[in-house]
Amino acid sequence: MPNTGSGKIGEHFTAEYLKEKGYEILEMNFKSRFGEIDIVAQNDRYLIFVEVKTRRADGLTHPFEAITPGKRAKVIKTAQYYLLQHPTNLQPRFDAAAVFTEDGELQKLEYLENAFY
């Protein structure tokens, strides 16, 4: 399913959240033949690969439920590909963001560091 509408909105809110936390956004929607990473960001210690899931605030399922083992595997393979192209001394980390919206407005953002471990 292509990332349009609410997905892009969720990525925007997450990128703004990361900037407020002192991260620099390096890439948005980095694609490889293995998959896509929504956000690649860094600070002075970490290079983070962020999976963003956006749902309506009144939705029946939590956004994190959509990050399946298969999705995690694709993100990890894509991150490995990214690291081959962009070597770094920073520690890689996989994070996840759950964004809840209503009529395109942010209602709540839950952010989980080291989400894949």
CA distance 39 to 3: 13
**When comparing pLDDT for 58 and 113, which is higher?**
113
For 91-105, write each residue's pLDDT tens digit. Answer: 999 999 999 999 888
Sheet of 46-56: strands edge to edge? 24-31, 36-42, 46-56, 91-102, 105-112
CA distance 83 to 90: 10
What's the chain's Rg over C-alpha atoms?
14
Domain range 6-112, CATH class: alpha beta
Pairing assessment for the beta strands 36-42 and 24-31 based on DSSP bridges: antiparallel
User: What pLDDT does 4 receive?
Assistant: 53
For 7-45, write each residue's pLDDT tens digit. Answer: 789 999 999 999 999 999 999 999 999 999 999 999 999
Where are the chain's structural domains? Answer: 6-112
